């Protein structure tokens, strides 16, 4: 379930079940849905299916993706219709939206860039669809021109500015830091936290080394763009509820005392700047007796992941994904 400014969207069954999934789809029907946002019956798909990014995917990658999905075990799971507000539940309106905001141009390498940077651009802009969450949108859910990857609010979280702006982006990050972060390693800036943890754990950390380094190279060479809505990003903190839920994954007991062998992991969670003990006394009280609040957490160093939009101190607009 994805909550948007236009209502709630549910993700469909994409296993090869012929009745409730996509088992009856041909390769060409699959490609058209993924890259063009058109269902086999000719209806428009809502852009929560990120065809606005997948349009840049190569034929080879579409073929590989189709082959993989069709190799999965079919699962029968009925699709729950979207609960969108009027008039957004009128799918015919997507015809106008597409004309205004959908660029279905294929990815074109820039001859002025290295092969690695071009590969990174393809991955970031296409299959990894980073801009779907990290790019601001207008009131109709279209991307704001000229602001790609500069940060946005989505589902109550702040997806940070990925350009190397020194005050609101990744200006203090080296290319090696970006590579380490995407691969799931700790960095001097912290590790993945919040929803970004899942992106890294279930996504980018499974890429091969050349592709990880290509993405890092591309992000590092972007032109810096300042996003005023992200000005508080360096001092943002995760809410206590998010932090406690994360610690819950590794610990149990009334005082959050760790099971044997998990103390180091829980301590690493606290060292992420998303958990700052001093301004969150309720979190400190719950953790008291398990381990002291690490110095790095008391210092207010923040982790680089999605933060709660309210904690980011921004008046950013709601997500435009529908």
Query: Which is it for the CA torsion 213, 218, 224, 227, positive or negative?
Result: negative
d(CA 68, CA 52): 22
Instruction: Assess contact for 22 and 71: CB atoms under 8 A.
Output: no
Q: What's the mean pLDDT in 311-319?
A: 38
pLDDT at residue 290, rounded to an integer: 34
**What pLDDT score does 267 carry?**
47
Confidence of residue 179 (pLDDT cuts 50, 70, 90): very high
Length, in residues, of the chain? 322
User: 156 by DSSP, 3-state: which?
Assistant: coil
Higher pLDDT residue, 43 or 297?
43
**Average pLDDT in the 110-127 region?**
97
pLDDT in tens, 29-49: 999 999 999 999 999 999 989
Closest CA to 242 of 272, 212, 203, 207: 272
Please list, in sequence order, all residues whose beta carbon lies within 8 angstroms of the beta carbon of residue 22, skipping any fewer than 6 positions away.
13, 14, 15, 16, 30, 69
> What pLDDT score was predicted for residue 316?
36
Report the range of poorest mean pLDDT among 66-75, 112-121, 243-252: 243-252
Give the model's pLDDT for residue 153: 84
d(CA 198, CA 204): 9
Residue 152: enclosing H or E segment and its boundaries? strand 152-154
In 10 A of CB 123, how many CB atoms? 22
Give Cβ neighbours of residue 316 (< 8 Å, ≥ 6 apart): 136, 151, 152, 153, 158, 229, 309
Q: What is the pLDDT of residue 53?
A: 96
Q: Which of 217-226, 244-253, 273-282 has the lowest mean pLDDT?
A: 273-282
pLDDT higher than threshold 80 for residue 280:
no
């Amino acid at each position: 379930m994805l909550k948007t400014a236009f209502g709630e969207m549910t993700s469909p069954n994409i296993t090869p079940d012929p009745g409730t999934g996509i088992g009856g789809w041909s390769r060409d029907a699959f490609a058209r849905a993924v890259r063009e946002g058109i269902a086999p019956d000719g209806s428009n798909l809502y852009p929560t299916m990120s065809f606005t990014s997948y349009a840049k995917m190569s034929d080879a990658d579409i073929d590989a993706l189709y082959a993989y999905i069709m190799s999965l075990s079919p699962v029968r799971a009925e699709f729950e219709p979207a609960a969108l507000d009027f008039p957004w539940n009128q799918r015919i309106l997507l015809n106008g939206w597409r004309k205004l905001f959908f660029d279905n141009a294929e990815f074109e390498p820039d001859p002025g860039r290295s092969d690695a940077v071009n590969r990174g651009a393809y991955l970031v802009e296409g299959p990894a669809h980073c801009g779907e969450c990290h790019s601001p949108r207008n009131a109709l859910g279209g991307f704001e021109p000229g602001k790609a990857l500069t940060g946005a609010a989505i589902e109550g979280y702040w997806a940070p500015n990925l350009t190397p702006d020194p005050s609101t982006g990744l200006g203090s990050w080296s290319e090696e830091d970006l590579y380490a972060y995407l691969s799931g390693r700790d960095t001097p800036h912290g590790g993945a936290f919040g929803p970004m943890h899942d992106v890294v754990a279930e996504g980018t950390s499974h890429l091969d080394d050349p592709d990880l380094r290509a993405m890092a190279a591309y992000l590092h060479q972007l032109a810096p763009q300042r996003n005023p809505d992200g000005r508080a990003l360096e001092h943002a903190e995760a809410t206590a509820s998010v932090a406690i839920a994360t610690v819950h994954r590794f610990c149990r007991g009334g005082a959050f005392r760790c099971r044997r062998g998990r103390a180091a992991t829980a301590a690493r969670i606290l060292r992420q700047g998303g958990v700052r003990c001093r301004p969150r006394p309720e979190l400190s009280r719950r953790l008291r007796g398990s381990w002291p609040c690490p110095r790095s957490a008391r210092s207010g160093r923040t982790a680089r992941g999605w933060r709660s939009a309210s904690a980011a101190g921004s008046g950013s607009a709601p997500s435009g994904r529908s």
